[in-house]
Chains A and B, each alone.
Chain A
C-alpha cells in the first residue's frame, strides 16, 4: 500500500470519528485482556486472594480517628504516667525516669561508676582517719612525714565533680598553682596524688617533676627538668607533700632538723583556706590546734615514728601544719619563705 494514496484529510469527520472510536476500542480491549492475564496468573500462582482479610482483623486494624489518640489508637504520653517496678530494688519508678534510676541502681553506667570510685576513695580516707580519732594524740602529732595526712585532708572532697562550683573555683586561679584545690576526680593523663601512698609519692617526686597542674589537679609526669614548670614550683610541691625541708632531689643533703618557722606555717594554713572547701571547718579548729601542737611535733618527732604510719587525719590543716612542723628532711627551710608568696599571687 502506498502511503501517498492515503489521505486522512479526504475523509469526512464521521469517518475520522469512527476510526478514532475503533482505535479507542482497541486500546480498551488491550487493557482488559492484560488485566485478565494478570488475574489468571495470580489465581494459578496462588496469590490472588492474598489481600483479602477477614472482617474481624479488619476491625482490629481500622484507622482510629478520635481526639487524643493517634491512628493506631494509642494515647500520646501514655508512658509518662506508667510506672515500672525496678527488678533490683523493687520500687515502682515512673517510666520516664526508669532508665536513669536503673543506671544508678544497678551500678552500671558512666556516672555511677564515677560516683562509686569517689566514694571509695573518700571512704578509705574516712576509715583511716576515723581509726585515728580514737587516740587524738596521733592526729596531733603528725610528724611521721609526708603526704598521706595532707592527702587525707585533701581527699575529703566537698566539691561534687559535677557541680558548677568546680568551674568557678578554677577561674580564680591564674596559671598553675600546685597546692590549690587538690581533689577533683579526674582521669586524664598524669598522676593524681590522692591515690598515691607516701612511699610512691616520695619516689615519684625524686624521679619526676611532680608539679600539680591547677587545671587537672594532677602531678606532672615529665622529667625533673621539664620546661613547663620552674624549680620553684617543684620545690613547692615537695614541701607541700614532704614537709618544709623537702626540696628537689638534686639537692638532697643530710637530714637536719629544720628550724621551723611557726609564723610561716600559719600563714600557709591561712592561704590554704582560701578556696573555701568544707575542710575549712575542721581546719579552723585545726589551725588553733596546730599552734598548740607545734611544740609537740618538734619535741616528739622521734618517738612518734610508729604512729606516723596511721596518719590520715581528718583535720586536714592540722595534718599539714604538723607535717610542715615535724618534717626534718633535707634542707632547712629556705623554701618556706617562697611558699607564702606563691599564695599571695593567687590571692
Chain B
C-alpha cells in the first residue's frame, strides 16, 4: 500500500474514527480529541478471564485507546494454554494468568495500566465490579457468566415506571468459542437481553444415564464415566476426585481400560479420558482472536458511539465455509435478573428470619439458604461461619428496621434456587415494599404491580 506521510501520533489510526464526524454512528457520538482523551483517562474496563479470549481482549482493548484495565482470573498457566494464549511462554507455566497477562501487555503497550486480580470472581466485593464502565467477559463457563451477569444486573435500578435508570446500567460484552465456532454479544442490562434472558441459547450438556454406565456401556466415554463417576466413589469413598491431579486421572484411565476390556469396547485413550472427565472444549487461536476482536470493537463503540452497536448477538461458524450472522434477541420482561425485580409486599413487623423462610416458599423464587444484602450491607450471610455468626442476631429483627425504615427498597438475595427441579446458585433482586409504613415519600404501594 502506498504509505504516504502520516501524522506522527500513536493514535494515527484510531483518531480517524474518534475525531471525525460520521453518518453511520451512535446517537451519542461527539467526535473530537476530548472523546479520545476521555476514553484514555477516565474509562475503566474489567476483563473477566485471562485465558484464550482474555489475553486477546487485553491486547485489543490496550490498542483501542483504553488505558485503565483490570483483569481477573483465578487460574494458573498450563502447558495446554500455549497454543492460543499468546501472552504466556513456557517459563510462565504455573504462574497466575492474570498477573503474567497484565505484565506482558504493559511491557508492549506503553502507557497502559493493567491491574491483575489473581482471585475468584465470587471473592470480590460487589463494589469492585461497580467501579468499571464496562465488563468484558472472556469465560468458558456458563456458571461464571451467570454470576457476573447477576452482579452487573444487580446494579441496575428502575424508575417507578419500570424504565431503567441510565446511570445504573453496567454494559457487558461477552464472547465464547468452541473449535471453529464462536459468539460475541452485547448485553446492556435493562435494554438488551441479559445472559439469563437467553440462557436457553446454550447447548444441552452431554449426559449419560446411570443405567447405561452401570449396565450397558457401549463406547469408550461410557467406560471412562463409569470409572470417574461410579468406580472412584466405590473405591475411594469420601475422597473427592481432582481432575488436575495426574494420579487421579491415571487411575480413572486404568479403570476405564479395564472396563473396556471386560466389555470388548475399543477406543479408551488417555487423551479421551482427559477430554471426557474434564469436559475439554477444543480451542484454537484464530477463533479466539476473531471473537475477542468483535467484543473489543463493541466495547469501543459502546463507550464512544463511534459507530452502530451490534444488536445484539453475533454467531460465527468457520468450519464449513464461513458464516457470520447477527440475531437480535429480545428481553424477557420478567427476567429475575435484569427485570425490574420481584415485588414483595411485607408488613413492617416481618423479621428477617420470617422473610428468609418466605423466600423458600415464594413460587417465583423457591430459594433456600438465602443470604440477604441491602445495598452495601449484608443483613444475613449463610457462610462463612464467622460471618454467619456475626449476622445471626439480625434474624430476629424486623426487616423494616434493618433496611433503615424506608418504605420501599431493593434487596438482593443469594441462595440455592430450585428451577426445573434442579438446584442452582442464584442471586436475585427483590423490590420490597412495606405495607402501612408511614413513609415520608408519597409513593403508593401499588408500584410495579
Q: Does chain A bind chain B?
A: no
